[in-house]
């Protein structure tokens, strides 16, 4: 058999990586991922639980609320210990790049919309920006970046009652960048400390100094300065450090929407961890079908430009994402999980999939597979779809990560739990090893 | 507070703004009031078809002839609102040959240029047409942007001295049972004018009384007028009720389904006598599928139903099969202001004439001082406006001639902006082209006004300069900015750009106003997007929801909910710092000690 | 069938293109939800803000188009066609197809056909034509190409960067070697011998036959890759045929020379579909070539048999991993092969093949191959050859150079010949192909 592993993880986001790394402690693991993960859409903050499903909050201590979650919520399925283990795994992967692990309490991080939001782990780059920190802050926005209006965000934070004085200023980003330069362009210029032409920094000024010089005249007695999250991809701490020294104050980033550099940096960390751990990774092609036998999954077929290639394994973890990552798909009539065709509970009439208020309690936000306590997806009759298939992350149903602010926490907890169970099952050799498949079925 | 005017027009749709422009150009002192935005009622909820008259060429030749005449006028005076797409009447195998022949002959009888095409020729024009079509008739249908046309009429009216008030709802009529002498309006804003070009932004920002505050609960105002025109379309009966006269408008709803992109560049009609779901109109970046025809009781409260959306796709995929797999981004419903004289009594709204009626209440109801205009269709708005303006001028003893058929609308004075070698204003070429198509002859003024000029709405290629220009005209109402620019009308339905649009309001408008304007736009976008929630648009909706709720926490904005005890949360003080930190200084864990970490600007280490 | 080259394979220096309309890809924008993940994956946009990124170039620009509009933004020529955006999009927008088609339209409609840029691009994209001339007198060509005056002329007259070393022509092309060796008859014999030796191995096609798409570079410049390919496959019992063939089209797509590419594709489809009819699968040793036959051909052209070719095309190592038990074959193998710093070409990444070379190397004793990460080499075929792109190309590549430098190895390895050029140019390392490693482990070892 050409491609065979103990555990095959389908999906390369936070849940898939957590599952792969955890399973890898007990078994040989391969992770397959079709496209880049939705981490690049996300803020890079790692939420556990900011609000209850009844929208009470912001919660100071998410762990207090975990025990009361309704039956079927992913946290209820895996239990508090798995949440803690998932976070421990995360802390281990990211090391110094994240903070927040010193306390169970949530932190309130300013958003680019000018609100604050509760989260459990935040990038080191966002640490000096916390809203409970009472030091006055200067927010800096850039003229060409329409997503972040620093003076408006500062006024909004004031309206939100933050315990410090916030002021905002909009400046041109130094250098001669086009108005539609990508965030990666700014990040790259700062990473490499490119010499920038013209503007405030004068000719040929290194990017970090030029940026600091541009901010300096606007700094009064604030003790910290916040920028939209464009301060580097490869060397964010070096960049912050340079600017901090130049300005004599702390520097932080305000997490932004897509495309998100903090998400990108996190993704880099996760894939470095996979490589270090020896997990095999294959990207670029979708999982499209499965071979099954006696209630077990034998292989997942991956489509390589029209050609189906089987990936065999003993245990499988489905971490293919939700509606955005296309782990859950829909048409006018139905909602489905496209790889294993697992049952996805949903109202028959699509006009019952949403609420009329834009921020209403949308059923679609909870679409996903139901699972048992071992995270095995359940068929319509309530029995597991397959003995050796588990699901993790936003392919799971029964929770609204956007309203609860629980996305990354659920991915870590369920990824950890699914990976642990899959790895242990594979190590036990729960099944007879998959038998030969003919080559004919791949042609 | 009282204000005097010669003519008062109620209703800021195509008819109302058309009348205001016409009267103002004849030197009449005219005031227009509209309860919402311009186009708020029916005009903003149509499919964007500029009729050639072909659709009426068999059943209603009088309307057909009016259409082709006005079609030609609008290509001329409103070139920046019209896209000359051409149209096809397509015959499927099951459609009657006889009707096809009648259509072709009818067009010729009405002076509508019509040419028969073979199936191959039609498919060469429109490759996505079904492979089994029989043949087609080509006619000069077009696409028109009703928002842009309506705003241009209002601006032209103002340029000729008119006062245009949006967000000003008529709550009562002045006068008595014999004579209407004006109206009482309730302002939702304190603006003098929706499209006020006289007061500069600086003045308004300085607290000029004319500064328009978004959705401020307003005051009422009496506007006395020598003559009142009720141009409220489907709402005409409500004004009539205030005057104690009976106006039997029979509102009829129709659904329009908006596709994400253009599957066709030509208007595609089904060549059938009549029926639901028989037209696809390429409109700006989208294609609009239409429609249904169902009588409703209340023009503001009627069901918007799933079957209507499904019907559009399931029927029209017979003409354009790719529609079955294509993404829709939203649906909307419009209400036709159909009217028929009380003695006709049609059962089916599709049988009611599309002709318009001028109801002189003096003649009809012994009520002086007011005329209502009902029925009619968008394509002939100017002709209707001309006729009623003639009537008003007669009442006011004004002898000036109508000039609206000859004088181009603002933005259409010079069509050469789209010529080859057009100025790109430093923009990427498709963005420059789109901007110029929207702005017409104003493109140069608008696009060179702001530097840097980033794109705010990627889907529709709308730059900061154009948004700012719209804010100059529309104030803090982002839905009014939207209809002027198309920003937030593309496939993300505002998910990615409505925030950026709101930012452009600041600092001219304060944070609470910006927040309200953003919420209102976001809700308005959601209202239509709900009807497209499957497949890609459901995924888009989830991404938008995640961005606004998860990333920005706008659903639990503490500025709205209040009451956070900030001290209870992690302030980062106890967080351990980075280890092995290459900076060699105190780590940046948000630790207050950082500020005593010996860092000063003078040390000036900027990295490598 | 003769293995001689196709006689009508000629370069037509300047030709006015037909009026064929490009495909309407606006419906492809239906899949875009503006998340910009493609932009974050774009190696050009991160170093050059004149390039607005794949989201604008692809779904946005297409969606904004009306039928009559002919104004593709000129920045499409800054796209290096690395196709990393395809692998980024979480929602299946056909980004590279949009870029290729837009570029074709731009070149057709907007580029002056006598401009220096146009002529230069046609020369670069028709490398095979010039290579076939050059290889007729390889020593002379190598000497001329090495002259400073030639580089200077290239830069000044043609806009080809003088920083680049022209690739050296081999003294014997792969095809010359192949003929000398006895062509397909000899291969059949060797394969049969190998099969007899390796009883019991599962057989994919009863014939175990493959048709080799060597592409231009293995033929003219690095025949050792082609030779390794032949020997490795014969080792597994495959009979190799080498049909007549033209350029895969990759450099032509990248330069918007879609009509040149179509002409070449017509030959390739005809010849290789015939081979498929004889029971062969199609194998390429260059990942851009396999990408082109597999993905770009059916996206851009409508030629009879093109889907059949797409469905039967594989990259060499990929094929062995699917149909042969490579793990067992390599168990206990060792190889006289240097440690290498491996770079996965973007086009390998795109086909989901970025991990396989390292996995294979890990099985072989005594060989250390280190993955230098997921950055782009920056050359992207002809892109980095153009003077105006040279700096950008080197900026993009700098991350890869750094990572190569950080490994212990002093030899590079990759599947893509132009990545190999860039790796060599940036580090001075000798660059090898994974097939050469397999040859060392299985055939020589």
pLDDT (tens digit, 9 = 90+) per residue, B545-568?
999 999 999 999 999 998 899 999
Predicted confidence (pLDDT) per residue in B37-66, tens digit: 898 888 888 889 999 999 999 999 999 999
- Looking at the DSSP bridge assignments, the partners of residue C281 are C210
Contact B607 A206 (CB under 8 A): yes
Is residue B199's pLDDT more than 70?
no
What is the torsional sign of CA C122, C128, C133, C139?
A: positive
Of the candidates B503, B533, B559, the beta carbon closest to that of A354 is on B533
Q: Which of A390, A287, A273 is nearest to A25 (CA)?
A: A273
Interface test with A, best of C40, C207, C311 (most A CBs within 10 A): C40
Measured between alpha carbons, how far is B209 from B190 in angstroms, rounded to an integer?
7
Element holding B220 (H helix, E strand):
strand B220-230
The torsion region of residue A436 among left (phi > 0), alpha (psi -120 to 50) and beta comes to beta
**Chain C CB contacts of B127 below 8 Å:** 24
Is residue C14's pLDDT more than 50?
no
Instruction: Supply angle C-alpha C289, C306, C308, rounded to 5.
Output: 95
**Chain B CB contacts of A132 below 8 Å:** 566-572
Instruction: Name the minimum distance, in Å, from the CA of C80 to any CA of chain A.
Output: 16
**Tally of CA atoms within 13 A in the half-sphere of C175 that contains its CB:** 20
Higher pLDDT, C143 or C244: C244
Higher pLDDT, A153 or C155: A153
Q: What was the pLDDT predicted at A431?
A: 55
Domains and CATH numbers, chain C: 26-109 (1.10.1060.10), 174-323 (1.20.1050), 326-444 (3.40.50)
Interface test with A, best of C32, C35, C83, C376 (most A CBs within 10 A): C35
pLDDT band at B401 (very low <50, low <70, confident <90, very high): very high
Is residue C310's pLDDT more than 80?
yes
Q: Burial, B592: exposed, middle or buried (Cβ in 10 Å; 0-12, 13-18, 19+)?
A: middle
Q: What was the pLDDT predicted at C152?
A: 61
Measured between alpha carbons, how far is C263 from B27 in angstroms, rounded to an integer?
68
Q: What was the pLDDT predicted at C140?
A: 67
Predicted confidence (pLDDT) per residue in A282-339, tens digit: 888 899 999 999 999 999 999 877 778 899 999 999 999 999 999 999 999 999 999 9
Predicted confidence (pLDDT) per residue in C217-228, tens digit: 899 889 999 999
H helices of A228-353, where? 236-247, 261-277
Interior/surface letters C371-404, b for 16+ CB within 10 angstroms, e for the rest: bbbbbbbbbbbbbbbbbebbebbbbbbebbbebb
Instruction: Name the minimum distance, in Å, from the CA of C403 to any CA of chain B.
Output: 18
Q: Which of B79, B93, B141, B74 is nearest to B114 (CA)?
A: B141
In B, minimum Cα distance to A361 occurs at B555
In C, minimum Cα distance to A39 occurs at C37
Higher pLDDT, B607 or B380: B380
Most distant pair of Cα atoms in chain C: their distance: 64
Across all residues in chain A, what is the average pLDDT? 93
Q: Per-residue pLDDT averaged across B409-438, rounded?
A: 81
Q: Which of A94, A408, A167, A130 is nearest to A254 (CA)?
A: A130
The beta strand positions in A121-267, using DSSP E, are 122-123, 137-142, 166-171, 195-196, 205-206, 224-228, 250-254
Q: Per-residue pLDDT averaged across B493-507, rounded?
A: 96
Q: Per-residue pLDDT averaged across B426-448, rounded?
A: 90
Domain boundaries A112-254, corresponding CATH code: 3.40.50.1860
Across all residues in chain B, what is the average pLDDT? 88
Q: What was the pLDDT predicted at C210?
A: 93
Measured between alpha carbons, how far is C246 from C252 in angstroms, rounded to an integer?
12
Q: What was the pLDDT predicted at C204?
A: 47
- In chain A, domain spans: 4-96+264-442, 112-254
Instruction: Name the minimum distance, in Å, from the CA of C15 to any CA of chain A.
Output: 33
Contact B564 A108 (CB under 8 A): yes
Q: What was the pLDDT predicted at C153?
A: 62
Element holding B393 (H helix, E strand):
helix B381-396
The torsion region of residue A3 among left (phi > 0), alpha (psi -120 to 50) and beta comes to beta
Contact C37 A302 (CB under 8 A): no
Q: How many contacts, defined by CB atoms under 8 Å, are there between A and B?
A: 310
Is residue B593's pLDDT more than 70?
no
Question: Cα Rg for chain C, rounded, in angstroms?
Answer: 21
Contact A35 C89 (CB under 8 A): yes
- Looking at the DSSP bridge assignments, the partners of residue C210 are C240, C281
Q: Are A46 and A98 in contact (CB under 8 A)?
A: yes
Instruction: Name the minimum distance, in Å, from the CA of B282 to any CA of chain C.
Output: 10
Give me the residues of B, 65-94, that contact A with CB < 8 A.
Answer: none
Instruction: Name the minimum distance, in Å, from the CA of C13 to any CA of chain A.
Output: 34
Q: Per-residue pLDDT averaged across B150-174, rounded?
A: 94
Domains and CATH numbers, chain B: 2-42+147-247+356-396 (3.50.50.60), 82-142+249-339 (3.30.9.10), 420-560 (no CATH), 565-599 (no CATH)
Q: Could you tell me what percent of chain C has a pLDDT over 90?
A: 35
Q: Per-residue pLDDT averaged across B68-91, rounded?
A: 95
β-bridge pairing C340-342 and C411-413:
parallel
Higher pLDDT, C317 or B355: C317
Domain boundaries A4-96+264-442, corresponding CATH code: 3.50.50.60
Contact B492 C33 (CB under 8 A): yes
C350 touches chain A (CB under 8 A): yes
Of the candidates C33, C34, C69, the beta carbon closest to that of B433 is on C69
pLDDT band at C144 (very low <50, low <70, confident <90, very high): low
Question: Cα Rg for chain B, rounded, in angstroms?
Answer: 27
Is residue B154's pLDDT more than 70?
yes
pLDDT band at C299 (very low <50, low <70, confident <90, very high): confident
Most distant pair of Cα atoms in chain A: their distance: 73
Give me the residues of C, 31-60, that contact B with CB < 8 A.
Answer: 31-35, 52, 55-56, 60
Q: What was the pLDDT predicted at C92?
A: 84
Tell me the backbone φ, ψ of residue B359, rounded to 5 degrees: -100, 100
Neighbours of chain B (3+ CB pairs under 8 A): A, C
Give me the residues of B, 434-473, that contact A with CB < 8 A.
Answer: 452-456, 464
Q: Per-residue pLDDT averaged across C229-244, rounded?
A: 93
pLDDT band at B594 (very low <50, low <70, confident <90, very high): very low
DSSP assignment of C22-84 equals PP--GGGGGG-----HHHHT-TTTTT-TTS--HHIIIIIHHHT--TT-----GGGGG-----H
Q: Burial, C148: exposed, middle or buried (Cβ in 10 Å; 0-12, 13-18, 19+)?
A: exposed
pLDDT band at B28 (very low <50, low <70, confident <90, very high): very high
**Chain B CB contacts of C72 below 8 Å:** 429-430
Q: What was the pLDDT predicted at C156?
A: 67
Predicted confidence (pLDDT) per residue in C49-94, tens digit: 999 999 999 999 999 988 777 678 888 888 888 888 988 888 889 9
Instruction: Name the minimum distance, in Å, from the CA of B101 to any CA of chain C.
Output: 29
Q: Per-residue pLDDT averaged across A99-124, rounded?
A: 97
What are the CA-CA distances from residue B4 to residues A253, B225, B391, B413 (Å)? 56, 6, 20, 32
- Looking at the DSSP bridge assignments, the partners of residue A139 are A168, A226
C61 touches chain B (CB under 8 A): yes
The torsion region of residue B161 among left (phi > 0), alpha (psi -120 to 50) and beta comes to left
pLDDT band at B209 (very low <50, low <70, confident <90, very high): very low
C217 touches chain A (CB under 8 A): no
Measured between alpha carbons, how far is A152 from B514 in angstroms, rounded to an integer?
9
SS3 B280: strand
Give ipTM to 2 decimals. 0.95
Q: Per-residue pLDDT averaged across B204-216, rounded?
A: 40
Measured between alpha carbons, how far is A114 from B557 in angstroms, rounded to an integer?
9
- Other beta carbons within 10 Å of C15: 11
Q: Per-residue pLDDT averaged across C263-281, rounded?
A: 93
Higher pLDDT, C296 or C144: C296
Q: What was the pLDDT predicted at C17?
A: 32
pLDDT band at A7 (very low <50, low <70, confident <90, very high): very high
Tell me if A4-96+264-442 shares its fold with A112-254.
no
Element holding B511 (H helix, E strand):
helix B511-529
Give me the residues of C, 396-425, that contact A with CB < 8 A.
Answer: 399
pLDDT band at B275 (very low <50, low <70, confident <90, very high): confident
């Amino acid at each position: 058999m050409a491609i065979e592993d103990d555990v095959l993880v389908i999906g390369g986001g936070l849940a898939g990586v957590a599952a792969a790394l955890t399973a890898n402690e007990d078994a040989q693991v391969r992770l397959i991922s079709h496209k880049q993960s939705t981490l690049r859409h996300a803020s890079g903050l790692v939420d556990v639980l900011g609000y209850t499903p009844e929208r009470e909050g912001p919660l100071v201590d998410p762990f207090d609320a975990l025990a009361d979650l309704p039956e079927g919520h992913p946290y209820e399925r895996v239990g508090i210990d798995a949440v803690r283990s998932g976070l421990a795994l995360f802390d281990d992967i990211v090391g110094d790049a994240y903070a927040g692990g010193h306390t169970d309490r949530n932190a309130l991080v300013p958003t680019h919309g000018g609100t604050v939001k509760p989260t459990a782990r935040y990038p080191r780059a966002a640490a000096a920006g916390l809203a409970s920190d009472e030091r006055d802050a200067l927010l800096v926005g850039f003229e060409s970046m329409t997503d972040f209006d620093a003076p408006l965000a500062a006024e909004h934070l004031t309206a939100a009652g933050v315990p410090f004085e916030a002021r905002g200023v909009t400046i041109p980003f130094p250098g001669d960048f086009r108005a539609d330069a990508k965030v990666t362009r700014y990040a790259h210029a700062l990473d490499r400390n490119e010499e920038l032409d013209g503007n405030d920094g004068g000719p040929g000024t290194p990017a970090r100094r030029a940026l600091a010089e541009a901010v300096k005249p606007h700094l009064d007695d604030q003790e910290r300065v916040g920028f939209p999250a464009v301060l580097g991809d490869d060397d964010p701490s070096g960049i912050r450090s340079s600017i901090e020294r130049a300005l004599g104050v702390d520097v932080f980033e305000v997490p932004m929407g897509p495309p998100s550099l903090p998400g990108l940096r996190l993704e880099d960390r996760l894939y470095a961890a996979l490589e270090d751990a020896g997990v095999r990774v294959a990207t670029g092609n979708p999982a499209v079908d499965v071979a099954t036998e006696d209630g077990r999954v034998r292989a997942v077929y991956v489509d390589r430009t029209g050609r189906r290639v089987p990936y065999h394994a003993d245990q499988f973890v489905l971490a293919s994402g939700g509606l955005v990552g296309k782990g859950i798909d829909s048409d006018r009539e139905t909602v489905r999980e496209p790889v294993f065709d697992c049952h996805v509970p949903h109202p028959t009439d699509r006009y019952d999939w949403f609420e009329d208020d834009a921020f209403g309690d949308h059923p679609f936000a909870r679409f996903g597979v139901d699972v048992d306590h071992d995270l095995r997806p359940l068929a319509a009759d309530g029995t597991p779809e397959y003995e050796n298939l588990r699901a993790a992350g936003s392919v799971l149903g029964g929770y609204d990560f956007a309203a609860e602010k629980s996305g990354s926490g659920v991915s870590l907890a369920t990824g950890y739990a699914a990976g642990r169970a899959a790895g242990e099952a594979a190590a036990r050799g729960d099944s007879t090893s998959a038998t030969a498949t003919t080559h004919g079925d791949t042609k | 507070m009282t204000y005097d005017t010669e003519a008062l027009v109620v209703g800021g749709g195509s008819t109302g703004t058309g009348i205001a422009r016409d009267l103002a150009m004849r030197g009449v002192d005219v005031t227009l009031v509209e309860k919402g935005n311009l186009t708020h009622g029916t005009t903003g909820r149509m499919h964007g078809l500029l009729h050639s008259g072909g659709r009426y060429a068999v059943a209603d030749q009088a309307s057909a002839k009016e259409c082709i005449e006005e079609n030609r006028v609008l290509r001329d005076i409103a070139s920046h609102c019209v896209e000359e797409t051409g149209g096809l009447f397509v015959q499927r195998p099951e459609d009657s040959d006889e009707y096809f022949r009648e259509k072709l002959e009818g067009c010729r009888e009405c002076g509508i240029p019509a040419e028969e095409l073979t199936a191959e020729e039609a498919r060469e024009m429109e490759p996505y047409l079904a492979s089994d079509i029989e043949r087609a008739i080509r006619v000069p249908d077009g696409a028109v942007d009703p928002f842009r046309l309506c705003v241009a009429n209002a601006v032209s009216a103002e340029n000729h001295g008119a006062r245009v008030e949006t967000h000003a709802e008529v709550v009562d009529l002045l006068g008595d049972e014999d004579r209407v002498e004006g109206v009482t309006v309730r302002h939702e804003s304190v603006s003098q004018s929706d499209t006020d070009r006289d007061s500069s932004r600086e003045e308004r920002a300085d607290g000029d009384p004319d500064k328009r505050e978004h959705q401020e609960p307003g005051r009422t105002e009496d506007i006395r007028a020598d003559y009142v025109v009720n141009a409220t379309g489907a709402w005409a009966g409500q004004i009539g009720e205030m005057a104690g006269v009976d106006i039997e408008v029979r509102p009829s709803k129709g659904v329009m389904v908006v596709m994400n992109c253009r599957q066709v560049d030509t208007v595609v009609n089904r060549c059938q006598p009549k029926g639901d779901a028989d037209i696809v109109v390429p409109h700006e970046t989208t294609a609009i599928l239409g429609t249904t025809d169902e009588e409703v009781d209340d023009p503001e409260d009627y069901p918007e139903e799933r079957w209507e959306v499904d019907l559009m796709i399931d029927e029209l995929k017979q003409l354009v099969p790719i529609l079955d797999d294509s993404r829709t981004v939203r649906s909307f419903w419009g209400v036709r202001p159909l009217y028929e004289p009380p003695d006709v009594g049609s059962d089916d709204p599709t049988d009611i004439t599309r002709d318009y009626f001028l109801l002189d209440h003096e003649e009809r109801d012994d009520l002086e001082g007011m005329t209502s205009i009902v029925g009619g269709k968008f394509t002939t708005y100017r002709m209707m406006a001309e006729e009623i303006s003639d009537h008003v001028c007669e009442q006011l003893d004004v002898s000036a001639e109508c000039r609206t058929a000859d004088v181009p609308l603002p933005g259409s004075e010079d069509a050469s902006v789209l010529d080859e070698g057009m100025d790109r204003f430093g923009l990427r070429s498709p963005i420059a082209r789109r901007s110029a198509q929207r702005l017409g002859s104003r493109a140069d003024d608008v696009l060179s006004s702001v530097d840097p000029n980033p794109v705010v709405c990627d889907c529709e290629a709308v730059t900061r300069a154009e948004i700012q220009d719209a804010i100059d005209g529309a104030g803090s109402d982002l839905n009014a900015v939207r209809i002027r620019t198309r920003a937030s009308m593309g496939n993300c339905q505002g998910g990615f750009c409505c925030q950026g649009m709101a930012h452009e309001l600041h600092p001219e408008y304060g944070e609470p106003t910006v927040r309200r304007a953003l919420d209102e736009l976001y809700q308005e976008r959601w209202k239509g997007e709900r009807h497209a929630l499957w497949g890609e648009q459901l995924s888009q909706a989830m991404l938008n929801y995640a961005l606004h709720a998860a990333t920005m926490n706008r659903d639990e904005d503490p500025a709205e909910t209040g009451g956070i005890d900030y001290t209870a949360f992690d302030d980062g003080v106890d967080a351990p710092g980075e280890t092995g930190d290459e900076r060699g200084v105190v780590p940046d864990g948000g630790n207050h000690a950082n500020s005593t970490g010996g860092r000063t600007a003078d040390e000036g280490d900027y990295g490598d | 069938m003769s293995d001689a080259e196709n006689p009508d394979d000629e370069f037509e220096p300047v030709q006015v293109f037909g009026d064929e309309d490009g495909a309407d890809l606006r419906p492809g924008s239906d899949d875009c939800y503006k998340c910009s993940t493609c932009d974050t994956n774009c190696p050009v946009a991160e170093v050059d803000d004149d390039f607005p990124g794949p989201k604008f170039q692809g779904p946005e620009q297409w969606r904004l188009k009306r039928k009559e509009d002919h104004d593709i933004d000129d920045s499409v020529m800054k796209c290096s066609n690395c196709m990393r955006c395809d692998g980024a999009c979480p929602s299946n927008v056909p980004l590279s197809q949009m870029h290729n088609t837009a570029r074709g339209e731009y070149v057709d409609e907007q580029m002056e056909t006598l401009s220096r840029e146009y002529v230069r691009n046609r020369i670069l994209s028709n490398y095979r034509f010039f290579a076939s001339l050059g290889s007729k007198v390889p020593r002379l060509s190598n000497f001329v190409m090495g002259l400073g005056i030639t580089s200077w002329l290239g830069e000044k007259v043609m806009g080809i960067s003088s920083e680049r070393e022209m690739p050296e022509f081999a003294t014997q092309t792969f095809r010359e070697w192949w003929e000398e060796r006895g062509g397909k008859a000899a291969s059949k014999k060797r394969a049969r011998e190998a099969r007899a030796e390796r009883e019991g191995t599962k057989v994919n096609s009863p014939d175990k036959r493959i048709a080799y798409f060597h592409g231009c570079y293995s033929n003219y410049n690095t025949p050792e890759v082609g030779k390794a390919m032949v020997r490795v496959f014969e080792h597994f019992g495959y009979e190799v045929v080498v049909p007549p063939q033209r350029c895969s089209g990759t450099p032509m797509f990248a330069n918007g020379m879609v009509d040149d590419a179509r002409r070449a594709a017509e030959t390739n489809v005809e010849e290789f579909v015939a081979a498929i009819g004889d029971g062969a699968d199609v194998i390429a040793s260059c990942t851009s070539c396999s990408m082109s036959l597999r993905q770009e051909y059916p996206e851009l052209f409508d030629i009879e048999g093109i889907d059949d070719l797409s469905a039967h095309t594989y990259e060499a190592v990929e094929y062995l991993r699917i149909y042969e038990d490579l793990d067992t074959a390599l168990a206990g193998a060792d190889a006289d092969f240097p440690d290498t710093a491996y770079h996965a070409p973007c086009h390998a990444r795109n086909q989901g093949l970025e991990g396989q070379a390292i996995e294979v190397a890990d099985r072989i004793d005594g060989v250390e191959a280190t993955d230098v990460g997921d950055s782009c080499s920056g050359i992207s075929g002809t892109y980095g050859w153009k003077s105006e792109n040279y700096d950008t190309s080197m900026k993009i590549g700098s991350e890869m150079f750094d990572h190569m430098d950080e490994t212990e190895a002093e030899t590079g390895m990759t599947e893509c010949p132009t990545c190999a050029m860039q790796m060599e140019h940036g580090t001075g390392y000798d660059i090898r192909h994974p097939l050469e490693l397999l040859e060392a482990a299985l055939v020589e070892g």
